Amino acid sequence: MKRSSIVTLATGGAAVVVAAFALVALPARSQAPAPDAAMTPPSVATVPPMPDPFAMKGIFQVRDYGATGNGQSDDTEAIQRAIDAAERVHGVVGLNPPSGGGDGRYLVTHPLVINTGVAVEGLSRNTTILVRRLDFDVFSIVGGPNVEISHFRIVGDKDAPGVGGNGFHIQHSQAVFISNVTMNGLWSGTLNESSGNVRLFQVAFAAADRAPDPSHPRFGLKATASLERGNSNLTSCTQCGVTDFGPAYPRTVDGFVLANGYNSLTLTSSGALQANRTVWVTADGGRPPNFLVLNDVTSDHSNVGIELDEGSAANIFSTLVTSAPGPAIHIARTYAGGPVTIANSHIIATAQGIDIEGGRTVTISGGEIATVGRGDGIRVGSNGQVTISGVGISAVRQGAGLHVLPQHAGGWLTVSGISVNKSAYGVVVDPGTSGGYTITGNSFTENSGANVRDGGSNPRKIIQSNSSS
């Protein structure tokens, strides 16, 4: 038989071995060997020894490098040795519970550094990395392409000292995939700096109950470009969650942050509970970010649902914001970048609905705004082009379904096909508003105050074909 070839594929949580054997051509009938020769067994000396199965699969178990997994001994160096060995062959580091008394709780006291393609896999989410300080990055991924990390949890001691550390710090890397990982009791979750194609799937972050620190803001996921490098940054997070349950210091964590420039962040089926801001787009002292996409994102009991401070473009689809003491969506006056699209989003039981202070082009279509406490359903103070259509607004207790402020002194506002019912007012245009607007084809039902109260001064304004009852 010819030599066999063995191909090792690392896929997700396990290594798959494919053995391809070249077939030996059968002899012709006229050349068939004698019966005795055909039945003669091969010599024992000619049978090669079986290779070690772990070596075949490229699995480097941390227990083979001295890790105890007992939650008491420092396993940092042992895990690092396993990572270094696996990096030489692009193998898999196994965080499986060790034999001999350990239960799979690995104490780590300084960063685990990954420099090139490697996979780090736990047996399950019960496999745990323990940290007793919050001032270092548990995993530091620097420059390495094709890194996969999955199926374990990182847990910080509730009384751990220090500030500013992250569960994962990814720097100038490509193709990093983190899945089925939970981080509990850490300072911050995942920081991605100037890295391309960073994907997170089923990643959860629950913050430690610690006081805020202005020099070290906290977050679940932050995507940022380093100003000195300016590399493009592409990050996606699917089925990710951020929770700030701190009873002593609630709402001290921003859920998902997009900062600086040349960035793209896509959130799908993700959200935050009791955060400061669920999603925050900010220039962070540098260039405006590029592109934000939210699809089926939930913000619950956070101070602000979505805060757009500076940026270039934001597409917000099917977003749910509930129980926010601040605005559900806030487009700040400093947001002077590309278009903002808000489609089929639902805002329920918040203090304010959508506050549009800035933005050159803002489009809101479909969805609902219901049960607004002290503010307005939609507030417009932008000088850009704002289009609002097909939104159902109800139970705005003290304000208006749509409120146009004197700050709307330029640009144009188009409102059509919206409904406002059971609110204090329908549409209010404040005196001194000089910007233009078209308010047509809207319906107003059971509002306690005026359905349309117009104090604007623009000579081209149009208000017509609205129905009321």
Question: What is the tens place of the pLDDT at every residue in 130-169?
Answer: 999 999 999 999 987 899 999 999 999 988 999 999 999 9
Instruction: Please answer whether residues 276 and 305 qualify as being in contact, where contact means their C-beta atoms are separated by less than 8 angstroms.
Output: no
Question: Are 403 and 416 a contacting pair, CB within 8 Å?
Answer: no
Residue 64: exposed, middle, or buried by beta-carbon count in 10 A (0-12, 13-18, 19+)?
A: middle
Instruction: Classify residue 441 as left (phi > 0), alpha (psi -120 to 50) or beta.
Output: left
Q: Does residue 454 sit within a domain?
A: yes
CB count in 10 Å sphere of residue 407: 19
Tell me, what's the pLDDT at 99? 64
| C-alpha–C-alpha distance, residues 162 and 164, integer Å | 7
Kind of pairing between the strands at 361-365 and 385-389: parallel
In a domain, 91, yes or no: no
User: Is residue 379 domain-resident?
Assistant: yes
Boundaries of domain holding 352: 328-469
Q: Are strands 14-20 and 5-11 parallel, antiparallel or unpaired?
A: antiparallel
460 belongs to a structural domain: yes
Cα separation, 355 vs 417, in Å, equals: 19
In a domain, 465, yes or no: yes
Asked if the structure places residue 297 within a domain, the reply is no
Q: Which of 364, 221, 240, 230 is nearest to 280 (CA)?
A: 221
Over residues 37-90, the pLDDT tens digits come to 444 444 444 545 544 444 445 899 999 999 999 999 999 999 999 999 999 999
Tell me what pLDDT residue 234 has: 86
Distance of CA 294 to the CA centre of its chain: 10
Give the model's pLDDT for residue 218. Answer: 96
Which residues of the chain register pLDDT less than 50?
A: 1-45, 47, 50-56
HEC readout, the chain:
CCCCEEEEEEECCEEEEEEECCCCCCCCHHHCCCHHHHHCCCCHHHCCCCCCHHHHHCEEEHHHHCCCCEEEEECHHHHHHHHHHHHHHCCEEECCCCCCCCCCEEECCCCEEECCCEEEECCCCCCEEEECCCCCCCEEEECCEEEEEEEEEEEECCCCCCCCCEEEEEECCEEEEEEEEEEEEECEEEEEECCEEEEEEEEEEEECCCCCCCCCCCEEEEEECCCCCCCCEEEEEECCEEECCCCCCCCCCEEEEEECCCEEEEEEEEEEECCCEEEEEECCCCCCCCEEEEEEEEEECCCEEEEECCCCEEEEECCEEECCCCEEEEECCCCCCCCEEEECCEEEEECEEEEECCCCEEEEECCEEEEECCCCCEEECCCCEEEEECCEEEEECCCEEEEECCCCCCCEEEEECCEEECCCEEEEECCCCCCEEEEECCEEECCCCCCEEECCCCCCCEEECCEEC
**What was the pLDDT predicted at 3?**
35
Q: What CA–CA distances, in Å, run from 345 to 92, 369, 453?
A: 42, 8, 26
Which of 214, 221, 106, 213 lies closest to 161 in space, CA to CA? 213
The pTM of this model reads 0.86
The candidate with the shortest Cα–Cα distance to 131, out of 74, 205, 61, is: 74
The count of domains in the chain is 1
pLDDT at position 53: 41
Residue 373: inside a domain, yes or no? yes
Residues 6+ apart with CB under 8 A from 56: 6, 8, 17
Give the list of residues 6+ apart from residue 203 with CB closer than 8 angstroms, or none: 178, 179, 180, 181, 182, 183, 189, 190, 221, 237, 240, 241
- The pLDDT of residue 101 is 64
100 falls within a domain: no
